[in-house]
Amino acid sequence: KSRKQKFINSIIGNLKKYNFQGVNIDFEDLNESTDEYLISFQNELSQKLHSLGYIVTQDVAPFNEDYNYQELSKHNDLIFLMAYDQHNINSVAGPVSAYKWIENAVDVAIGQIPPNKLVLCVATYGYDWPKGFVGTDITYEEAIATASESDTMPHFDNQTYNLNYKYWDEQNTEHNVYFTDAATYFNVIRASYDFGLAGTALWRLGSEDERLWNYYDKDLSFDNLKKCNFKFKELEEISATHVVDYIGEGEVLNIISAPKNGLVKLKYDSSEQLISEQYYKDLPTGYVINKTGAKSKKIVLSFDDGPDETYTNQIIDILEKYKIPATFFVLGANVQANLPTFKKLYEKGYEIGNHTYTHANLETASMERTLLELRSTRRIIEAITGHSTILFRPPFNIDAEPTSFNELHPLAIGKDENYIYVGASIDTRDWEKDITAKTIIERAITQKDYGNIILMHDAGGIRKETIKALPIIIEYYLKHGYTFTTVSDLIDKPKSELMPLVKNKERNFIGLINFTAINLAYFAEIAIYFIFIVALILTSFKLIVIAFLATKKMIDSRNKNIAIINNKKVSVIVPASNEEINIIKTVEHLLNLSYSNIEILIIDDGSTDNTLLNLSSKYGSNKKIQIFTKLNGGKADALNFGIEKSNGELLFCIDADTNIESDAIEKMIIYFDDDRVAAVAGNVKIGNRMNLLTHWQDIEYTTSQNFDRLAFDTLNGIMVVPGAIGLFHKERVMEVGTFKTDTLAEDCDLTLRILSAGYKVKTCNIARAFTEAPETLESFMKQRKRWSFGIMQSFWKHKKLLFSFKKPNIGWVVLPNILLYQMILPIFNPIVDLVLIFSLIFGKTLIVLGLYVAYMVIEMLIAIIAYAYQGERIKINTLLSMIPQHIIYRQIFFLVLLKSYLKIIKGELQQWGILKRTGNTKTVMLTTKIDV
């Protein structure tokens, strides 16, 4: 009793643990003197489980008095009648479950069990009885496959509705086979409706005739079938079997026949709504595959995934040392990337097989993808060698005896392309992570009796351990009497048949095109990787140099004691064209300047909006402000107009959308104690950080534009004093010719002319101006096109000074920086990202990703320094956003530069254009200081 309680408690525990709905009790082969204990157990079990909300069911055998149907039905929600095994493995041969026998079993059961509690179990399998031996159970597919192999047709018995046939095996032993199929199940399930049973169950799932699923979920009652006109024709085609029949021995496989559907003819008794006759016309078949290549004491070394410039060449050296052959299954992409190594493989006489183009998993690939993978690689091999190949090994599947349809799918497609499959039974698995040469050797030796082909890899990862293991493996096999050979020798075919010569006509036409294309692609790939590496190195070099120079500038600034000059008159010049949104706010900030000795000149450059009206109504009577208007002539013309009207010794030029911090002039003017200083650049900050694009521009201004000026200050190589905030010595500006209208980058052009005249240009990072950056991609690209075109114009104007020793700061710093980093490298920017993507796809990730990550780390470290030098602490999310920023920025700058070059080539002029203003600029007070 205690054991019974323990067992019941164990059942309850498992139901709770696995969240089951109930339990089915199956006590078979009962031979008891009393049914008392079984009924008692079932009673206690059902009481406990029902109280907890669980279902209790039980299996019972037909015609077995040890099962008290009536009593057991009281304690179970359902009773499963196991109406099968009329004959079993230990009995004589006979039907698994004859129809009349099932009817009788149900008749007996429903005399004691309510029909709505009775579930009829349907047999979906069969038995194979060798004469004089115990039988074995078989599935429907196995029964059909055996009938097909023995060239016999199953017979459908119209009395039992079971099927049977006889065959003789290779030992000439007679076999009797009985099994059930979809016609059997249909009639049995039909009977369950006539008896009004609770339903049916299948024994066993997975062994059934799949035609069952055409009707199992349908109502097969007599009335419904008569009304709905059931489509029995759907049951006459039998799907191909999943059984694979192998003939012969060896690891070289060739499909002899592919799966095909079978056909039966049915007769339907409409008066009974039953299938009365069934005739098998064509049996469904599965794959029949010929295996060859089994030879005693012969071994083939095979290598997958190559060629690789490093490892394949090392393997060739080892093979040459021992004077042994090998077979290489190559990837088309690696052939294309390593042409010299592949040519060496061919010239040395090694067998070459197809391993797809990209190492795709063909088990899950579409037919189109599979064909593309195979044909691309074949074309490459043919173009380079003049020979084709019929040797094929799909990636991820080197089983010498594949069984699933997924595994066989690539073989079938390969067969249609005239390939033979080369498996490998000796798998060293040298691709595994942290594999050692010792493990590779052990596997190669312990599996020596498995077959004739060893699988290793010459690419696809670091193969140093494979290289270490290979000589020892070779020496072991040679010592033990093995001969190293080729696949062609294993299957007794000449190499010329496995790697046939391409016909001259094809070679002359298609082959020439392919050969040329592949060679061009090879050299193009080398060039692309070279550009990628050079671009990253040059960019990283610039970043490091900039960081060094900027740090030097910061140290020098702290150690330098500059006398404050506060008596020079400053003329503030603000050119404004259609700036009605921003102009009032800009002027308000100018009126708050703490430097007193100033005059403010607002130049309305032919505005067509309310710029002039707003200025006149607000500041028309303000004596500190002079308002001028003129015909539109562009920003440079407006600035020159202001210079002409100015009275100051210094010129403070700003944009009309810029908010200046109150002490900006005081911080900048101290640099003019040096007579050689002609201009000072301020620090431009983004004042409208409204969205991702403006935040990215803020990062760019901080880590690139402002930080670069800080560095180039030490070399007197500042390229541009920004239009948003710049303080100029008026006399020097007049001397070099003021602003010019022949470029769109008048500020860059003026800066270069100041440097050419031998004057200094300085930067003051603590004097800040907050400008309005473009808030949409369209306006951003418009602004950058204007900048790019203007900088090109400025470069061209001063090109004679490039690499000039007369003006080394311009010839060897400013102009080379423009040429390399603003005119050349951005054209190749997309290559950086394309190479990374290509590497991730084709597995060349280690070096590329390493360089890419190193570059990003350098850039992030410099960003931290750049923000620190401006008194800010960069946030983690800002650092992380630099990754997508650079990827997207690179594409934008590429397009911008490309369009600029096209305009130059066509001889077109870039217009200034009007950027839509939003008035979102704000002055941000940065109080957080970081010691560096």
Pair type for strands 174-179 and 163-168:
antiparallel
Angle (CA) 492-419-349 rounded to 5° is: 55
- Amino acid code (one letter) for 614: N
Residue 22's beta-bridge partner residues?
55
Torsion over CA: 826, 832, 834, 837 (sign) = negative
DSSP 127-142: EEEETTS--EEE-HHH
Name the 3-class secondary structure at 294: coil
| Cα 131 from Cα 764, distance rounded (Å) | 104
Sheet containing 598-605: order of strands: 625-630, 598-605, 570-576, 650-653, 726-729, 677-686, 760-771, 659-660
- HEC string of 237-252 equals EECCCCCEEEEECCCE
**3-state SS class at 722:** coil
Give CA torsion, residues 741, 742, 745, 749, to 10 deg: -100
- One-letter amino acid at 341 equals T
Non-local CB neighbours of 270 within 8 Å, separated by 6+ positions = 226
How far is Cα of residue 263 from the mean position of the Cα atoms in its chain?
44
Q: Which two tokens stand for residue 429?
A: 């698995």
Asked about 589 being catalytic, the answer comes back as no
**Nearest Cα residue to 770 out of 666, 660, 871:** 660
- Matching residue, tokens 């040392």: 321
| Contact call for residues 385 and 352 (beta carbons, < 8 A) | yes
Residue 304 is a catalytic residue: yes
CA atoms within 13 A of residue 128's CA, in its CB half-sphere: 19
- Residue 262 near residue 238 (C-beta atoms within 8 A): yes
Residue 860 exposed, middle or buried by CB count within 10 Å (0-12, 13-18, 19+):
middle
Contact predicate 688/775, CB 8 Å: yes
Q: Give the Cα-Cα-Cα angle 327, 333, 335 (nearest 5 degrees).
A: 45
Q: Which residue out of 457, 589, 729, 798 is catalytically annotated?
A: 457
Q: Looking at 304, 427, 458, 713, which residue is catalytic?
A: 304
| 3-state secondary structure at position 21 | coil
- Active-site residue list: 304, 457
